[in-house]
Amino acid sequence: MRAAAGLDTAIGVARSLVVYYGQPWRRVQLRRFYSGIIKPGDLVFDIGAHVGSRSRTLLSLGAEVVAVEPQPVFADMIEKHLASRLKGFERAAVGATEGEARLRISRRHPTVSTVSERFVESVSHAEGFRDVVWDHEVVVPMTTPDRLIEKYGIPAFCKIDVEGAEADILRGLSSPIRLVAFEYIPALPEIAHDVIGLLEKLGSYRFNRVVGERHRFENEEWRDAAALLNDLSSLAPGDPSGDVYARLAT
C-alpha cells in the first residue's frame, strides 16, 4: 500500500515537472511576460509555489522572491534546490488567520492539493477534475499575508495559486498590494467574485486576465471589476482556467 502511494506521488510529481519544465518555449514566454510587469529588485510573494517554476523565472529577472508552499513533496524540492536563492521560504499554507490547516492531497495529482473543502466538493465532478481523488491529508502551519508582510515587507507583486483558497488569503490582508494575480476556474465563478470583491475593499484596482499557460494578457486595456466579471461569467465550466491580474489604479 505504501509502495503504491509512493508510486502515485512519483507519477504526479513527474507530471508537474514535465508541464512546468519540460516545455522550454513556455518558460521563455513566461519570462518575457513577467519582464513587462516586474522590475529588478521588486519583492514578490509566490504563494502556492508548487515546483518553483514561477519563482525561478522571477529570480531570473532580478526579483527578490518569497516562496510559500505547504505541500510536503513540493516544499522539499524547493528547500533542496531553490531556497538558498530566495529572500524567504515558508513551508506553510496562507489564510485569514494564523494557526494550522488541514491540507487535502491527491497523490496522483499533487498540483491540486488544497486547504479548501469547498474546492474539493465543488470540482469533484467538474471537467478536468473527475479523475482526481484527494486520498491523503496532512496538518500544516498556516500564516497570513499580513504576517508575511510584517516579516518581509510589502511586495510589489503577489501571485496566489492555492486551489480555491484565494479569498481566504485575501481576508488575511489588510493593506493593498500593487499587483496581485490569482487563479480563476470557470467551474467555480464564485471564488473569482469573492476575490475581486475583497480586492476592491482594499483599493482601486483594474483587471486583466491570462488564459491557461499562454502568458499574455487577453485585453489590450485593463478593465474595471464589472467588465472582468462579465467576461468570466460568459465562460463555460469546461473552459480553460487561467489567472486574473489586479493592478492598483494610479
Element (H, E) at 100: strand 99-105
- Please tell me whether residue 11 adopts helix, strand or coil conformation: helix
For domain 2-248, give the CATH number.
3.40.50.150
Domain boundaries, the chain: 2-248
**Grid cell in block for residue 109:** 495529482
CA distance 95 to 190: 18
Mean pLDDT of the chain: 89
At residue 4, the pLDDT reads 47
205: β partners: 248
pLDDT at 25 over 90: no
Q: Are 244 and 181 in contact (CB under 8 A)?
A: yes
More confident residue, 110 or 245: 245
Write phi, then psi, for 110 (nearest 5 degrees).
-65, -15
Q: pLDDT by residue (tens digit) across 135-159?
A: 899 999 999 999 999 999 999 999 9
DSSP code at position 85: G
pLDDT digits (tens, 9 = 90+) for 70-122: 999 999 999 999 999 999 999 999 999 999 999 999 988 888 899 998 888 88
